[in-house]
Amino acid sequence: MNEYIEFFKLLKSARKEDKIMNSIIIDGCVAAGKTSLMNIIEEEFRYTPFLEPVTDNPLLDKFYYNRKRYSFPLQIFFLNKRFAMLKEAAKIDGTVMDRSIYGDVIFAKLLADNQEMESEEYALYKDLLANMLEHVEPPKLMIYLKSSTDDIIRKIKLRGRDYEQVVEREYWEQLNKEYEDYFSEYNISPLLVVEVDNLDYVHNERDREYIISLIKNKLKEIR
């Protein structure tokens, strides 16, 4: 059975009440355009932004050079930061997040599958995640930015982070496939899937208006 099916069963069983957080979460593979869309939603909808903890992360660049050594501490770092972020967001009415605790399992599973995280570490990670998820409300809307691997690599090269340039194509292909598998089973909140290969909502006003209209229409449908 797809491991993500079990993950979403766990999420549903952990929820004690059908409460919803007034939040939009944006997820997608590395360099898919999450932060750019978060900035647009902040401006258009007046939502409070919560940025993924990348810039102040002391482990991220080390991880890309030695994944097996830093996979577990990096995942725990992200898990801790994302849980703290959700607790803060829960105090605010109307937030938008660049990734969240929900998609964190994608990276951990990939690392475990590739034997870059020990099975005991992965089991411990999943236990910790399950305990945290008992205290997390699902978002009002999840947006998945779906990209091809070619487009992801193109954007990674454009933004020029040194530690991302050393990563082999196979890793990005595997990660992107994990995202597709994850969101094919996602069922804990309304989901909007946007294929972004041919969109430039940062520099193209028509593309910006298009993605804003998609979000507005989805929110109306939810209401």
At a CB cut-off of 8 Å and minimum separation 6, what does 44 contact? 212
Whole-structure pTM value:
0.92
Task: Report residues of the chain scoring pLDDT below 50.
Answer: 1
Distance CA 48, CA 78 (A): 20
Locate 147 and state its tokens: 């990209």
Q: Where in the sequence is the domain holding 141, given as residue range(s)?
A: 3-222
Rounded Cα distance, 16 and 36, in Å: 34
**What's the structural domain count of the chain?**
1
Angle 50-53-54 (CA atoms, 0-180°, nearest 5)?
Answer: 130
Give per-residue pLDDT as tens, 122-131: 999 988 988 8
Q: Report which of 100, 119, 110, 112 is spatially closest to residue 23, judged by C-alpha positions.
A: 100
Residues 89, 95 contacting (CB under 8 angstroms): yes
Catalytic one of 27, 61, 93, 98: 98
Residue 93 annotated to the active site: no
Residue 56 sits in a domain whose CATH number is 3.40.50.300
Only one residue has tokens 């006003």, namely 205
